[in-house]
Amino acid sequence: MRALLAAALTFLAAAPARGAEIAVALTQTLVEVDAGFSGARLVLFGALSGVDPADLLRPANLDIVAVVKGPSTDFSIRPMQRQGIIWTRGAGAVLRGAPSILLTSATRPLDEFTTPALRRRLGLGAESVDFYPLLRISGDAISLFGGDGARRFVDAFLDAGRASGRYGEAAQAVSFRKGALFSIDVELPPTTPVGVYAVDVYLIRDAEVVSHDEASLTVSKVGVERQIYDIAHQRPIAYGIACVVIAVAAGLAGAAAFRK
């Protein structure tokens, strides 16, 4: 009897979560990298519906996780090697098409409410991304590191990503507002690359996705910097000549200003 009652209560408690939904919106869908850019704070606003507000006060019951994923790029990873008395970059590996940014923010540490299988499926946290198929190790590096090479290269890549703020996992990163409203702050580092970013938010209960919502974000260079960068890459010869003209003018102006 008691067991039945407990089961009924559990069912009742769980019932509202069946229809639980998560929705998310970004306060800005465009991040502009301009002259003063030294990183940006991205604010995700979200709302839960079909959830008993009491559940939100017990975060152990329901968890929210957000993943901000930057455009894919290639990276080179080279070991520093001693040659004679100097240290130089040795043969290394190239990582093709790895996310340039991967920032995961959640209510709790990921391993407290997700299984490794779920993390891999949703791409939660840098550890869950399978980088090995993306890795191209040069022949010299294979003979240098043996079978251990791939792991060393991936670890080095993740360490560098965390150090630069491009990769990271934050727990206790969801702040609950009034009722079923919440917000998540994500810090984009100063080296944030341009491109289209995907933002995915999941509502998770018992290591299962209850609801999912997504948004996208565009990071672009604006202003004079954007124009300079574009001209330097699209019309490099004209850009070079312009640099020389500016330098000559500045040099002559300086000489004239100080002549007297």
Residues that bind another protein (CB under 8 A): 33-38, 73-80, 85-89, 92, 94, 100, 152-153, 156-157, 159-161, 190-191, 193, 221, 224-226, 228-229, 232-233, 236-237, 239-244, 246-248, 250-258
Identity of the residue, 2 or 260, whose beta carbon is nearer to another protein in the bound complex = 260
Other CB atoms closer than 10 Å to residue 15's CB: what's the count? 11
Identity of the residue, 68 or 77, whose beta carbon is nearer to another protein in the bound complex = 77
Q: Which of 143, 172, 167, 201 is nearest to 22 (CA)?
A: 201
Other CB atoms closer than 10 Å to residue 112's CB: what's the count? 11
Q: How far apart are CA 253 and CA 259, in angstroms?
A: 10
Strand-pair category, 93-99 with 63-69: unpaired
Smallest gap from Cβ 225 to another protein, in A, equals 4
Q: Which of 136, 141, 137 is nearest to 91 (CA)?
A: 141
Identity of the residue, 8 or 250, whose beta carbon is nearer to another protein in the bound complex = 250
Q: How far apart are CA 63 and CA 104, in angstroms?
A: 13
Smallest gap from Cβ 231 to another protein, in A, equals 9
Q: How far apart are CA 26 and CA 28, in angstroms?
A: 5
Identity of the residue, 7 or 245, whose beta carbon is nearer to another protein in the bound complex = 245
Smallest gap from Cβ 43 to another protein, in A, equals 21
Smallest gap from Cβ 32 to another protein, in A, equals 11
* Helix or strand run (H / E) with residue 139: helix 139-145
Smallest gap from Cβ 239 to another protein, in A, equals 5
Identity of the residue, 84 or 133, whose beta carbon is nearer to another protein in the bound complex = 84
Report yes or no: 174 and 201 within 8 Å, Cβ to Cβ.
Answer: no
Smallest gap from Cβ 164 to another protein, in A, equals 9
Identity of the residue, 38 or 147, whose beta carbon is nearer to another protein in the bound complex = 38
